Structure 1
Amino acid sequence: MGLHLPSGPVTLDDVPRARALGDVVELLAVGTPLYVRFSAGPVADAGTESRDHESGCLLPGLSVNPLDPEPWWDRPVEHWVARQLCQYAHLMTPERFPWVLTGEIVGRGPDSEPLLDTTVPVASIDRAVVDEAAALYERVFDPGNDGT
C-alpha cells in the first residue's frame, strides 16, 4: 500500500484507500501509533465539537480505537485489527465510515478509549474491509463470550 505520513492539512482524498484487511495491517509497519475512527471523516470532525452523548460533556479530542496490538497480544496482528474494526462497525451508516488516523492522545473517553487531538488522516477503509474483518472475527473468536 505504501504509506507516507502527510504533513499539512489533509483530506481523505489525499490518503490511500484500504481495500483489504491486509492493507490495514500493512499500514501498522509505519511505526507511528494508528487508530480507527467511524465518522463522517476528518473534514466533518474538524468542524464539530466532540461530546459524550450521555453526559453532554465536551471531550478534548476525537474518540478512537487503537489499531496497533497491545504487547500482551499473542495472536496474529490481523486478528487484532479485525476485532478493532468489528467492535465499532455498528457505527457505520451511509454517512459514517471507518478511517485510519494518528494524533496526540489528550485523554480518555467514558469507555476508556483514547481521545486524539492534532489528528492526521492516514487512510480510508472500504466497507469490504469491515466485511472481511467480520468474517475473520466470526472464524477465530468466540463472539459474545463474556466469561460468565
Structure 2
Amino acid sequence: MSAWDDLPVVRTLAELTGLVEQRQGGLYVRWSRGPEADLAEVSSTDELTGVPMPGLSANPLDVEDWWQDRSVRLWVARRLYDYSHLPHDKGPGVRPWVLAGEESGRGPDNEPLVREVRPLCHLDDRVIEEAREEVTRQEHEWGPLRRGAHG
C-alpha cells in the first residue's frame, strides 16, 4: 500500500473549494509522484541549476485579499488550471495532491517552498476537468502556465 492509498480523495471542485474555505490558510497544491516520494527529503531541486531548495515547491490555494468577495470556486479552479500541464510535462505518475505546511522561502519561479508538510488529500482527475471547464467558461481566453523553448 502506498501513501496515495492512505490519503483521502477529493472528487469534485466543490469539495476542494469547501476545504479551502474551511481551512483559512496554509493550503498548497503540489504536482508530483506523491507524498511518499516527496517526504523522504522534503526538498525540491531547481531544475536549471540542480540546487536543492529548503522545502517542497508548491502552489498556494489560499485566496488572496485582493480577490475580495469573488468566487472561491473560480480562484481554486484557476490555481489548478494554471499548472494542469505538469503531469504531461513531468511524466507518468505525476498527480496533484493537497498539503498544509509552512513557507520556508521562494523558488526560482517565485513559488512557495513548503516545509513541515502534512499531506491532506489527493485530487481525482475529475477535479482538474471541472477546473478546466470553470476557467473555459470565463470571458477571457486563458491557458495554463507553460514555458516554451527559448532559442
The SS at the match of 1:47 is coil
Distance in 2 between residues matched to 1:33 and 1:116, nearest whole Å: 10
Aligned residue among 77, 97, 119 for 1:82: 77
Unaligned 5+ runs, structure 2: 144-151
TM (normalized to structure 1)? Answer: 0.84
How far apart are 1:13 and its partner, in Å? 3.1
Aligned residue among 19, 36, 40 for 1:27: 19
Distance in 1 between residues matched to 2:121 and 2:139, nearest whole Å: 26
Residue deviations 1:19-62, cap 9 Å, x none? 00011111120234210000000111123542100121111000
Q: Does 1:38 align with 2:31?
A: yes
Asked if the contact 1:38/1:98 (under 8 Å) is kept, the reply is yes
Unaligned 5+ runs, structure 1: 1-10
Aligned residue among 107, 123, 126 for 2:124: 126
How far apart are 1:141 and its partner, in Å? 5.3
Asked if the contact 2:24/2:62 (under 8 Å) is kept, the reply is no
Q: In the alignment, what sits opposite 2:10?
A: 18
Structure 1 counterpart of 2:12, one-letter code = A
Aligned length: 135
Distance in 2 between residues matched to 1:46 and 1:121, nearest whole Å: 9
Q: CA RMSD in A?
A: 1.7
Asked if the contact 1:12/1:121 (under 8 Å) is kept, the reply is no
TM (normalized to structure 2)? Answer: 0.83
Q: What's the % identity of the aligned pairs?
A: 46
- Between 109-118 and 40-49, report the one with greater CA deviation: 40-49
- Between 24-33 and 114-123, report the one with greater CA deviation: 24-33
